[in-house]
Structure 1
Amino acid sequence: MPDVESVPLAQLTTLRTGGAPARLIEARSADELVATLREVWAEGEPWFVLGGGSNLFVGDEPFEGTVVRIRTSGIEELPGSHEGTVRLRVQAGHDWDALVAETVARGFAGIEAMSGIPGTVGAAPVQNVGAYGQEIVQTLVEVELLDATTGEVSTVSASDLGLGFRTSVLKHHYGSEPERPGVIVSVTLELERVGAERRPIAGDQLRGALGLEPGQAVSLRWIREHVLATRARKGMVLDAEDPDTWSAGSFFQNAIVSEAFARTLPAECPKWPLTPVLDPVTIIPLAAFDGILPPPPVVSRQVKVSAAWLIENAGLSRGFRFPRSRAGLSTKHTLALTNRGEATAAEIAELARFVQSRVQAEFGLLLQPEPVLVNVEL
């Protein structure tokens, strides 16, 4: 197997924490990836795969196991399911933003609003990445999945991945194991052929973020440039010179709560219903109508709540950190926990626990971490 010299994972993760693994392997082709993982699994040692390292929070102690770093790349263009579409099969280790840039250059629409998201293509379906109203679930067709239980590679439809808000059956949530353990080998997307011309943009969220009026026409390149600029202002585009980007992106997930609980939060707290509110329709046969309408059914809906608003309104401002700590909230927005320079995982975990405790004390809600935690607890 293609072993390489082991280095601290602080050098390979965007949060810049993590001790060295006992063994580090780089897989540069799909066949190499599959063979490597099968052998690692047969040995029975602890393991995890590493892509861009942008959604990991790794502990300070050495990892007593094997880390498989996915370095595959490549884009294969395939016919779309109908006229005006195209499919792209992309290797799991391909850089996500490089893929977005390529699709924009080719005039393929569907993922341009996700420009600037760090990480690799294979990680994107695991947490159903999204930004400004676009999510990968909208364009994902299927993945090639190496099953960690059987060691077999199969093609799995997007509909079988349980894609939801920043989740899937493949995701390792804090405190639980994936419903379907496995490693993505390749991803197939279906995009729309629109070319370089300007066109009206659907979606209130994207138009609002970019300051577009309804019906205003812009090109894919215009969208990409403005999304990158917007993310850069928030410290969400990697920059070796900017400590605000030394993070795992949004450290806490926007909370998903019941409609009843959402009503207990302040009215000014941003909330987004996850299902549309529709007027119920009741059909009663005329012969059975006695002049009395039955009460409408009680529908339990889920609501997404802004974690950034909760943090700020729990009294934690941008740039907050403990005295002498090298970990702090981003100076640009409160949702990112940042490494201000050689912070330990213990320092970042201390800050994360404090944020959780303040929000819980103020609003009765325990925020959940979004990154995968390895060798570290909150």
Structure 2
Amino acid sequence: MPELRDRTTLRLGGPARHWVTATTDAELVEAVRTADETGEPVLVLGGGSNLVVADEGFDGTVVEVATAGVEADRDDPDDLACLGAVTVTVAAGEGWDGFVARAVGSGWVGVESLSGIPGSVGATPIQNVGAYGQEVAQSIASVRTWDRADRTQRTFAAADCGFGYRTSRFKEEPGRHVVLGVTFLLKQGTLGAPVAYAELARTLGVEQGERAPLADVRDAVLGLRAGKGMVLDAEDHDTWSAGSFFTNPFVDRSRVPEGAPAWEQPDGRVKTSAAWLIEHAGFGKGYGLDRGAPASLSTKHTLALTNRGRATTADLIGLAREIRAGVESAYGIRLVNEPVLVGCRL
């Protein structure tokens, strides 16, 4: 039986009591329903890229989502002149970046800036995954789920998913909905969506709001992510992480430290940079390596907490607590973890 450290990008986490690999929707629903009927705790596992699992493992059943399938109502990469839209339904177990690569190759516009993000398609609506000015909420048409409370399949239109910054109704009701598939509504064309992120625009040599060829956008994003240790590489311990460990905080403008980035929000607050707060609170890139710590900040990006090869979950959580406390002491802002914690807490 695999251990969770073998299925998480942090390479942390102990064994599960039981393990089921579901390759069809029916197997997935049956595994979860059977466990629920017997009172067995369930951990639904996708790509393992947003999980921090306790060293003791999981005292229940892990249901690994291994479903596959991508179906488009129009799939002709040579017929882009119409510049119409394509509806694409993707199984929850499909790898996210594999889907993005297919979208770019097929001339499907709307997810190209989300290239290189690890994990499965089914996990993306839960977190409302986003990067470089795009988030999946912009292109999702509907999400099909198994409702564990009502014991029925339910499909939610995008407007009913409660999408917000790194959140959704599925995250706000943790564990209730098992994602079975996601349907995307994507434009067709050779150019990506208008580039909304300044760093990406500079890399592409365009102005913000301008467009660039789909393949160029993907290549640029992959390059930027690799430079920050955000593209998985077994030989690079900077990528043994859960991506950004803390979300960017939303605060009143008066609480933003001098010099920190501040993005105005519709509710009057501003979003500031967790990475800036961490670095200016004294936690630079590679923090922890100088003392030989088994868990450290990435040498490429202060938002990533990494396993240097011999860390335990306890080591990583200890580092996260130290950073959170340091930022709160320096700036009075309490950072919130982005990955899901299983059997452990900050």
- One fold, TM greater than 0.5? yes
Higher share of residues assigned helix: 2
Shift of 1:266: 2.3
Structure 2 match to 1:201 = 194
Structure 2 match to 1:168 = 168
Please, which of 6, 11, 14 is the counterpart of residue 6 of structure 2? 11
Work out the CA distance in 2 between the residues paired with 1:69 and 1:158.
Answer: 25
Structure 2 match to 1:125 = 125
Structure 2 match to 1:352 = 320
Aligned partner letter, 2:262 = K
Work out the CA distance in 2 between the residues paired with 1:253 and 1:310.
Answer: 11
Confirm whether residue 77 of structure 1 aligns to residue 79 of structure 2: no
Shift of 1:324: 4.1
Shift of 1:254: 0.6
1:1-378 aligned within 5 A: 6-78=1-73, 84-171=84-171, 178=174, 181-195=176-190, 198=191, 201-205=194-198, 206-208=200-202, 210-213=204-207, 218-257=212-251, 261-275=252-266, 300-321=267-288, 323-378=291-346
Work out the CA distance in 1 between the residues paired with 2:280 and 2:128.
Answer: 28
Aligned partner letter, 1:49 = V
Q: CA contact under 8 A between 1:47 and 1:67: conserved in structure 2?
A: yes
Aligned partner letter, 1:111 = V
Shift of 1:24: 0.7
Shift of 1:30: 1.3
Q: Using a 3 Å threshold, how does the CA distance of structure 1 residues 127 and 14 change in structure 2: closer, same or farther?
A: same
Aligned partner letter, 1:314 = A
Q: Using a 3 Å threshold, how does the CA distance of structure 1 residues 194 and 264 change in structure 2: closer, same or farther?
A: same
Q: Deviations over 1:234-255 (max 9, x none)?
A: 0000000000000000001111
Shift of 1:213: 3.0
Work out the CA distance in 2 between the residues paired with 1:357 and 1:307.
Answer: 13
Q: CA contact under 8 A between 1:96 and 1:118: conserved in structure 2?
A: yes
Q: Deviations over 1:163-202 (max 9, x none)?
A: 0000011116xxxx53x8211100000000103xx57834
Aligned partner letter, 2:269 = Q
Q: Percent identity?
A: 47
Q: Deviations over 1:268-324 (max 9, x none)?
A: 10111122xxxxxxxxxxxxxxxxxxxxxxxx5122110000000001111011734
Work out the CA distance in 1 between the residues paired with 2:321 and 2:232.
Answer: 25
Q: CA contact under 8 A between 1:199 and 1:216: conserved in structure 2?
A: no
Secondary structure in structure 1 of the residue aligned to 2:314 = helix
For structure 2, the 5+ residue unaligned runs are: 76-81
Aligned partner letter, 2:240 = W
Q: Using a 3 Å threshold, how does the CA distance of structure 1 residues 329 and 204 change in structure 2: closer, same or farther?
A: closer
Work out the CA distance in 1 between the residues paired with 2:197 and 2:49.
Answer: 28
For structure 1, the 5+ residue unaligned runs are: 1-5, 276-299
Work out the CA distance in 1 between the residues paired with 2:97 and 2:242.
Answer: 16
> For the pair shown, which has the larger CA radius of gyration, 1 or 2?
1
What TM-score comes out, normalization by structure 1 length? 0.85
Work out the CA distance in 2 between the residues paired with 1:237 and 1:268.
Answer: 29
Secondary structure in structure 2 of the residue aligned to 1:41 = helix
Q: CA contact under 8 A between 2:195 and 2:211: conserved in structure 1?
A: no
Work out the CA distance in 2 between the residues paired with 1:102 and 1:239.
Answer: 21
Secondary structure in structure 1 of the residue aligned to 2:101 = helix
Q: Deviations over 1:10-44 (max 9, x none)?
A: 11100111010000110001121112111111111
Aligned partner letter, 2:307 = N
Q: CA contact under 8 A between 1:330 and 1:338: conserved in structure 2?
A: yes
Shift of 1:218: 2.5
Aligned partner letter, 1:268 = G
Query: How large is the RMSD of aligned CA atoms in angstroms?
Result: 1.9
Q: Using a 3 Å threshold, how does the CA distance of structure 1 residues 263 and 215 change in structure 2: closer, same or farther?
A: closer
Q: Deviations over 1:197-222 (max 9, x none)?
A: x5783435442454423576531011
Q: Using a 3 Å threshold, how does the CA distance of structure 1 residues 211 and 312 change in structure 2: closer, same or farther?
A: farther
What TM-score comes out, normalization by structure 2 length? 0.93
